[in-house]
């Protein structure tokens, strides 16, 4: 008997990790440091919350079904700002709004793939991408990365088969944090185009990229939409995680197929969330620049603190976006170490085993630290606790 779709994949990792907290008490002088999830814990800034309240009170249409592909005004604004950000050309007809970026990925896979098709994912991978492929009957083909966590296009080329429908990249990367160089992104685009498959490029964390200028030139290609499917999230930029607003940018022909999926799953994205994203894009550029500066300062704090751990055998594999991806020096798997860190150090983080195939031994040595909700002082405390762990942990 065939298994139901959900039985084909694993439990949600963040929810699984939260269960490690059950029965554990944290003394006042050593409160829990939660670096398990890459999501802002603060609400949107007051001006944005006021704008959302005004929409709720004054815009009757915001409480009704809206267009399946999203508010026309938000689609147009995202098209214009994406074109400006990448120095390229994007038309509103190439933009749709989704109920979060995870739904955008799910819609892309539903539009591209049939049962037993294949999608290439660099490892360590974003676990929700793997979970959706599992539940869709699509094979996730792992593309292992080296110590720099950067995927190799030549290795990817060797994995392409007649069933391959897409290569999926995340930059700045989740879980690794690394920012993919422009020439690397271009190489994967060229590879996908050569083989007539899609390049799915998830840039959820693009607003916190440390580089200035366009992070890649793909949107400068006048025919980019024959290959590129671009994913974005408003959640991290404007603290709208609970309102579920993401986006896909692709060809109008592909969006016509995506519309079938979106109409069936959610009918339309959150209306109030969309109005919030639109107001944020139009009014919060300076505020968002400050948020980026703060994330970059926290990233710098990790680099400053890292010598405390390198002397004990730790290695920083990747750093950027919201993440530090680290290799630990202990003789146990990260799958066992991570729950132990909750009990022994008051630290909740995710093990590398949650981001790798079960037969990939590298995950056993790795941990993901989601640092976006720790200030510099909190990062110092985190590293002090890690440095204090006994070597026989």
Asked, for residue 233, whether it belongs to a domain, the answer is yes
Tokens of 226: 């024959």
pLDDT value for 3: 83
How many C-beta atoms lie closer than 10 Å to residue 193's C-beta? 17
243 and 303: one domain?
A: no
- Give the CATH number of the domain where residue 226 resides: 3.40.640.10
Pair (162, 217) in one structural domain = yes
Domain count of the fold of the chain: 2
Same domain, 296 and 279: no
Q: Give the pLDDT of residue 4.
A: 92
Same domain, 132 and 78: yes
Is residue 214 in some structural domain? yes
**Confidence at 2, pLDDT banded by 50, 70, 90:** confident
Q: What is the pLDDT of residue 46?
A: 97
Q: Are residues 172 and 229 in the same domain?
A: yes
Above 90 in pLDDT, residue 155? yes
- 392, part of any domain: no
pLDDT of residue 217: 97
Instruction: Give the whole-number percent of the chain exceeding pLDDT 70.
Output: 99
Confidence of residue 321 (pLDDT cuts 50, 70, 90): confident
**pLDDT, mean over the chain:** 95
Q: What global pTM score does this model have?
A: 0.95
Residue 88 domain-assigned?
Answer: yes
Single residue among 284, 319, 349 that ends a domain in this structure: 284
Confidence of residue 373 (pLDDT cuts 50, 70, 90): confident
DSSP per-residue letters across 267-289: SS--HHHHHHHHHHHHH-HHHHH
Beta strand extents in the chain (DSSP E only): 33-34, 95-98, 118-123, 139-144, 164-170, 198-202, 228-233, 246-249, 315-320, 323-327, 347-348, 350-351, 366-370
Structure tokens at 19: 């269960």
In this structure, the answer to whether residues 52 and 161 fall within a common structural domain is: yes
In this prediction, residues 163-176 reach a mean pLDDT of: 97
pLDDT value at position 392?
Answer: 65
Residue 359 belongs to a domain with what CATH number? 3.90.1150.10
Examine the domain organization and report whether 25 and 139 are in the same domain.
no
Q: Coil, helix or strand for 117? A: coil
Task: Write out the residue range of the structural domain in which residue 200 sits.
Answer: 46-284
How high is the pLDDT of residue 393?
A: 59
The verdict on 264 and 322 lying in the same domain is no
Same domain, residue pair 260 and 299: no
Q: What is the pLDDT of residues 194-249, one digit of tens each?
A: 999 999 999 999 999 999 999 999 999 999 999 999 999 999 999 999 999 999 99
- Kindly report, residue by residue over 249-304, the tens digit of the pLDDT: 999 999 999 999 999 999 999 999 999 999 999 999 999 999 999 999 999 999 99
């Amino acid at each position: 008997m065939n298994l139901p779709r959900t039985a084909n994949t694993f439990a949600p990792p963040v929810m699984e990790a939260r269960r490690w907290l059950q029965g554990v008490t944290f003394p006042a002088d050593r409160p829990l440091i939660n670096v398990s999830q890459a999501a802002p814990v603060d609400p949107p800034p007051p001006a944005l919350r006021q704008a959302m309240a005004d929409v709720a009170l004054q815009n009757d249409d915001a409480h009704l079904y809206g267009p399946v592909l999203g508010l026309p005004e938000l689609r147009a604004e995202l098209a214009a700002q994406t074109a400006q950000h990448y120095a390229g050309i994007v038309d509103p007809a190439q933009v749709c709004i989704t109920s979060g970026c995870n739904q955008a990925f799910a819609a892309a896979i539903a539009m591209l793939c049939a049962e037993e098709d294949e999608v290439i994912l660099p490892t360590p991978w974003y676990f929700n991408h793997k979970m959706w492929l599992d539940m869709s009957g699509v094979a996730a083909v792992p593309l292992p990365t080296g110590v720099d966590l950067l995927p190799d296009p030549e290795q990817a080329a060797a994995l392409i088969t007649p069933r391959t429908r897409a290569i999926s990249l995340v930059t700045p990367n989740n879980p690794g944090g690394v920012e993919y160089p422009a020439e690397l992104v271009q190489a994967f685009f060229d590879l996908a185009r050569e083989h007539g498959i899609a390049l799915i490029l998830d840039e959820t964390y693009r607003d916190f990229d440390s580089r200035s200028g366009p992070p890649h030139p793909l949107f400068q290609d006048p025919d980019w939409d024959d290959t590129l499917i671009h994913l974005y999230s408003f959640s991290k930029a404007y603290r709208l995680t609970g309102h579920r607003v993401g986006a896909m940018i692709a060809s109008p022909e592909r969006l016509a197929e995506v519309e079938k999926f979106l109409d069936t799953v959610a009918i339309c994205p959150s209306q109030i969330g969309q109005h919030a994203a639109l107001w944020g894009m139009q009014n919060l550029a300076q505020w968002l620049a400050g948020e980026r500066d703060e994330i970059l300062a926290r990233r710098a704090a990790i680099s400053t603190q890292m010598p405390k751990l390198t002397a004990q055998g730790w290695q920083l594999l990747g750093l950027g976006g919201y993440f530090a991806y680290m290799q630990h020096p202990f003789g146990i798997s990260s799958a066992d170490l991570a729950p132990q860190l909750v009990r022994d150090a008051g630290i909740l983080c995710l093990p590398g085993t949650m981001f790798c195939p079960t037969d990939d031994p590298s995950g056993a040595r790795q941990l993901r630290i989601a640092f976006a909700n720790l200030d510099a002082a909190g990062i110092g405390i985190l590293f002090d606790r890690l440095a204090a762990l006994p070597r026989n942990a």
